[in-house]
Amino acid sequence: MRIAVDAFGTDKAPFPEVEGSIHAIKEDLCNEIILVGDEHILQAELDKYYYDHNRIRIYHASERIEMHDHAAEVVRMKKDSSMVKTVELHKNGEADAALSAGNSGAFMAASLLAYGRIKGVSRPAIAAALPTTIEQPAILLDMGANVDCDAENLLQFAQLGSIYFTYCYQKPNPRVGLLNIGEESTKGNALTREAYELLSAAKDLNFIGNIEGKEILSGKFDVIVCDGFVGNVVLKTIEGVVRAVFDMLKEQLEKDWIAKIGAILSFPAYSFLKRKLDHTEFGGALLLGLNGTSIVCHGSSDAKAIKNAIRFAVRTVQSGFVQHSKDYFRER
């Protein structure tokens, strides 16, 4: 298994990408990692570590796509960028998956231009894993690829999400929910009401109704569907709330010696909760509906997140998700 990694995607690139790739190789998560970017900078960084030189190689790319770059335009303008070259390695069969923590819009555009959409899919989507009160996570889509959607788009997101959850998480017939402001079928705007009707009529989906925001992490739903605008706001809100809660908890636990004793006694529970809500445990989000496997990571990803994203990329490829998606839409 070979994974191509855009080594100049994160905010602190290429340090997280290099260290995360080395950890992935040492844990034997894949056979080979191709780090894409400026070879002089990457080699200097790699020289700081001890690793199997036969399993990590550099593919030179002279340019870097920045977060502020216009997604569609920059992909055509910066053809020698680390992101574009990463996608090309996957397209040409030199890598089994492409991974980037750079500009997500540009990564989607580059992947779409390189692989194209699966026949029958109108719009690709980004699916992010979310922690729940049970062991298995839930997935939320779309989380930002499509700001404006129609009801047919949401139906396809549900279909893609169900295939994803079935094969990547080994759970057949996953429970699908439509994110809305109320549980009743009459609630919501014109988009969600129409989407509710389409999802209810889809015999191949285990649609169990609307889901309110308070139930997102409950574990009662496996696949949660919404447009990209709502999904992106939800995801960033959850990340912000988690960060704020731990900051407030840390502040209280450091106030006096009694609180510190309590912190020591409750450390196992605190550690479990921190690990459970840590987005780096999931690593990355999958771009669904494409003729290839592209994993997008958070710009603030550290080495742990990159390592886990590589793990996730390998699992996704092994699941055969792309082929299963092709089969599903070909039969419709």
Question: HEC states along the chain?
Answer: CEEEEECCCCCCCCHHHHHHHHHHHHCCCCCEEEEEECHHHHHHHHCCCCCCCCCEEEEECCECCCCCCCHHHHHHHCCCEHHHHHHHHHHCCCCCEEEECCCHHHHHHHHHHHHCECCCCCCCEEEEEECCCCCCCEEEECCCCCCCCCHHHHHHHHHHHHHHHHHHCCCCCCEEEEECCCCCCCCCCHHHHHHHHHHHHCCCCEEEEEECHHHCCCCCCCEEECCHHHHHHHHHHHHHHHHHHHHHHHHHHCCCHHHHHHHHHCHHHHHHHHHHHCHHHCCEEEEECECCCEEEECCCCCHHHHHHHHHHHHHHHHHCHHHHHHHHHHCC
Mean confidence (pLDDT) of the chain:
89
pLDDT of 31 strictly over 70? yes
Nearest to 21 by CA among 252, 300, 283, 238: 283
The residue among 197 and 265 whose pLDDT is bigger is 197
pLDDT at 178: 97
Topology of the domain covering 1-120+289-321: Isopropylmalate Dehydrogenase (3.40.718)
Lowest-pLDDT range of 17-21, 52-56, 224-228, 274-278: 274-278
pLDDT at 261: 67
pLDDT at 271: 65
Do 1-120+289-321 and 122-282 show the same overall fold?
Answer: yes
The residue among 314 and 330 whose pLDDT is bigger is 314
pLDDT at 274: 60
279 — pLDDT class (breaks 50, 70, 90): low
pLDDT at 75: 84
Q: How many CB atoms lie within 10 A of CB 32?
A: 17
pLDDT of 172 strictly over 80? yes
Amino acid of residue 227:
D
pLDDT of 256 strictly over 80? no
| Span 290-297, average pLDDT | 95
> What is the phi/psi pair of residue 140, to 5°?
-115, 130
227 — pLDDT class (breaks 50, 70, 90): very high
6 upstream amide cis, omega within 30 of 0: no
pLDDT at 265: 62
With a pLDDT cut of 90, the percent of the chain lying above it is 64
User: Structural domain boundaries of the chain?
Assistant: 1-120+289-321, 122-282
pLDDT digits (tens, 9 = 90+) for 79-91: 999 999 999 999 9
pLDDT at 276: 57
Q: How many CB atoms lie within 10 A of CB 304?
A: 16
pLDDT at 320: 94
94 — pLDDT class (breaks 50, 70, 90): very high
pLDDT of 258 strictly over 70? no
pLDDT at 131: 82
Of the options 3.30.2020.10, 3.10.105.10, 3.40.718.10, 3.30.1360.70, the CATH number for the domain spanning 122-282: 3.40.718.10
pTM equals 0.88
| Span 194-210, average pLDDT | 94
2 close to 32: Cβ distance less than 8 angstroms: yes
Amino acid of residue 46:
L
pLDDT at 244: 85
Nearest to 286 by CA among 167, 176, 152: 167
The residue among 59 and 136 whose pLDDT is bigger is 59
Lowest-pLDDT range of 199-213, 263-277, 298-312: 263-277
| Separation CA 293–CA 2 (nearest Å) | 12
134 — pLDDT class (breaks 50, 70, 90): confident
